[in-house]
Amino acid sequence: MKETYIKDILKEDLVGKEVSIKGWVYRMRDMKDKVFFVIRDPTGIIQAVVKKDNVNENIWNDALKFQIEGSLELKGILKKDERAPTGYEIEVKDIKVYDYGQPFPLKGDEEIDTIQKYRHLWIRTKWFVDILKVKHSLLKNLREWYINDGWYEVQPPILVGNAAENTTELFEVKYFDQKAYLSQSAQLYLEALIFSLGKVYSLTPSFRAEFSRTKRHLHEYWHFEIEAAWYHLEDLIKAVEESLKYSIEKTIEERKSEFEDLKSITGRDIKELKDFVEKPWKILKYEDGIKKLKDLGINIRYGDDLGSDEERILTQQFDVPIFLTYYPREVKAFYMYENGDGTVKNFDLLAPEGYGEIIGGSEREWRYNILDQKIKEWKLDSLKIEVGNEEIDAYEWYKDLRRYGSVPHSGMGLGLERFTRWICKMDHIRDTLAFPRLRGGWLY
C-alpha cells in the first residue's frame, strides 16, 4: 500500500482535494462544536478540524474520545489556513480509529528520573526526534564520503578474545567454556583487512565499562572506524577533515527544519556550523597545547594526559576543531607509530566550544621489531588466548600482520554520539540515542 506522509500533502496543488493521513494526536483542543487536532507523523505535523455539523454522530463521538498520542487515520479536504501551525488544515470527513490512547504520562517538562522510567515513550519528543534525524544524516553523509572515496565497509567481530588496550574498561562475557570480551574497538581487525581491501571502514557498537560518570561517556556507543594502507598521519588528518566537513555541510542542507527547532532548544545556530566547515581546522602539537594551558594558569605538565576539563579549556582558545598531535608515547596505546623522541604519530580531534575529544587516530607502528619490543615493554606478551586446545600469545596474530607484507598504515575511531552531541550542541551525551547505557540507568 502506498503511504501518504504529511510532508507530501503540505502542497498548494492539493488544496481543495481529498487527502488522507495516518498518524498520532500531537495536540488536541475541544471547542464544543469543533475539535481541533494537530496530527504528527514521522515527517511533520498538520492541523485537522472535525466539525460537529459536517460529520455523522459516530465520527463526532470518536473525535471526542482521543487522548494525546492516540493513533488514527483521517480523511478530509485540504484547506489553506494561515492560523494553522504549518499553514494548512484538513477539514475532516472520516476518522478510522486505531487506538484512542490513554492519558499520556509525559507532558514534556519532566525531570530526568521520570524520563528514564518512560524512555520508551519519551523518545517521541519532538526535539529528540530532531536529534535522531540529524544523527541519521551525519552518519549517512559520512558513509557517503568514504564510499565515494573508494573505501570498503566491513563487519569486524564484537565478541573478541583480545583485550585491545584498556583492560580495566572491558566487559567480560562467557563464551561457552572460554572467556571473551565485548569489543571496545574494531581497529586490530580493520588493520588485518587493509592488506586485501586497502581502505576499510566499519560501524559497530563499542562497549566500555567506564568507571566515572561524565557527560561524554556511555557504556555502549556506536563507533565509526577507518583504516587505510599507505596512509601516513598527514593523509589521515586530511581524510578526517574532508569527510567530517562533507558530512556536516550536507547535514545542514538536509536538516534545515530540525536545526530550526534545535536552535530554540540547545542554541545551535547553523551559522556556527557553516563557519566550522569553511575554516581550515587547527593542527597543534601536544607540546604546544600543554604550553598554552600552562600560560592560562592550568596545573598540567608535559607527560600528563588531557582530561575533559583541559580539553574544554584548550578548545575554547580556538574557533575551529583541533587536531592535537604527537602525544607522549606513555599516555597512548602501544600500537601507535614511534617518532623516536618519546612521542607517537597520533592525533585526538577535539571538537570546539568545549566539547573535546570526538576522534582518536594514529599512524600505526608497522615495523615488526619496534612493535614486538613495545608489546614486551607494555607487558602484553603475557596475555594469552585459547585456540583449540592451545594457549597462544594474544598478540601473535597481530604481529603476523607485520611479518607478511607490512606497510605503513593509519586509522581512526569516531564516536558517533560524541559527534552528534557537538553538532546538536547538547549538554549530555545520553540524548543522542534512544536507549543509552549508563551505569545506574535502566537496562531494558
Which residues of this chain interact with ligand ATP, rule CB under 6 A?
Answer: 208, 210, 216-218, 221, 223, 357-360, 413-415, 417-418
Report DSSP state, residue 266: T
Rounded Cα–Cα distance for residues 436 and 332 (Å): 27
Tell me whether residue 74 or residue 284 sits nearer to ligand ATP (CB atom): 284
Helix (H) or strand (E) holding 159: strand 159-160
Per partner kind, with CB cut-offs from 5 to 8 A, the member of Mg ion, ligand ATP, none near residue 413 is ligand ATP
Please state the closest distance from residue 95 (CB atom) to ligand ATP, in A.
44
Please state the closest distance from residue 185 (CB atom) to ligand ATP, in A.
6
Tell me whether residue 262 or residue 414 sits nearer to ligand ATP (CB atom): 414
Per partner kind, with CB cut-offs from 5 to 8 A, the member of ligand ATP, Mg ion, none near residue 417 is ligand ATP
Encoded amino acid at 304, one letter? D
Per partner kind, with CB cut-offs from 5 to 8 A, the member of ligand ATP, Mg ion, none near residue 430 is none
Tell me whether residue 221 or residue 323 sits nearer to ligand ATP (CB atom): 221
User: Which strands form 159-160's sheet, in the order they lie side by side?
Assistant: 159-160, 178-182, 172-175
Measured at the CA of 147, the angle between CA 141 and CA 150, to 5 degrees, comes to 145
Per partner kind, with CB cut-offs from 5 to 8 A, the member of ligand ATP, Mg ion, none near residue 73 is none
Tell me whether residue 97 or residue 209 sits nearer to Mg ion (CB atom): 209
Look-up: residue for cell 597512548? 332
- Whether the CA torsion 228, 232, 233, 237 is positive or negative: it is negative
Q: Which positions lie near Mg ion, rule CB under 5 A? A: 357, 360
Per partner kind, with CB cut-offs from 5 to 8 A, the member of Mg ion, ligand ATP, none near residue 358 is ligand ATP
Please state the closest distance from residue 348 (CB atom) to Mg ion, in A.
6
Distances in Å between the Cα of 340 and the Cα atoms of 233, 331, 343 are 15, 15, 7
Q: Are 232 and 410 in contact (CB under 8 A)?
A: yes
Residue from 412, 372, 413, 411 nearest 395 by CA: 372
Please state the closest distance from residue 341 (CB atom) to Mg ion, in A.
21
Please state the closest distance from residue 148 (CB atom) to ligand ATP, in A.
23
Distances in Å between the Cα of 43 and the Cα atoms of 8, 22, 63, 80, 195 are 9, 11, 23, 19, 44
Tell me whether residue 6 or residue 349 sits nearer to ligand ATP (CB atom): 349
Tell me whether residue 148 or residue 214 sits nearer to Mg ion (CB atom): 214
Per partner kind, with CB cut-offs from 5 to 8 A, the member of Mg ion, ligand ATP, none near residue 201 is none
Rounded Cα–Cα distance for residues 268 and 349 (Å): 20
Please state the closest distance from residue 146 (CB atom) to Mg ion, in A.
20
Please state the closest distance from residue 10 (CB atom) to ligand ATP, in A.
37
Per partner kind, with CB cut-offs from 5 to 8 A, the member of ligand ATP, Mg ion, none near residue 223 is ligand ATP
Encoded amino acid at 23, one letter? G
Rounded Cα–Cα distance for residues 141 and 53 (Å): 50
Report DSSP state, residue 306: P
Q: Half-sphere exposure (CA, 13 Å, Cβ side) for 428? A: 11
Please state the closest distance from residue 196 (CB atom) to Mg ion, in A.
27
Please state the closest distance from residue 218 (CB atom) to ligand ATP, in A.
4
Tell me whether residue 306 or residue 423 sits nearer to Mg ion (CB atom): 306
Tell me whether residue 70 or residue 356 sits nearer to ligand ATP (CB atom): 356
Rounded Cα–Cα distance for residues 337 and 291 (Å): 24
Rounded Cα–Cα distance for residues 93 and 75 (Å): 6
Per partner kind, with CB cut-offs from 5 to 8 A, the member of Mg ion, ligand ATP, none near residue 409 is none
Per partner kind, with CB cut-offs from 5 to 8 A, the member of ligand ATP, Mg ion, none near residue 218 is ligand ATP
Tell me whether residue 55 or residue 414 sits nearer to ligand ATP (CB atom): 414
Number of helical (H) and strand (E) elements in the chain, helices listed first: 14, 18
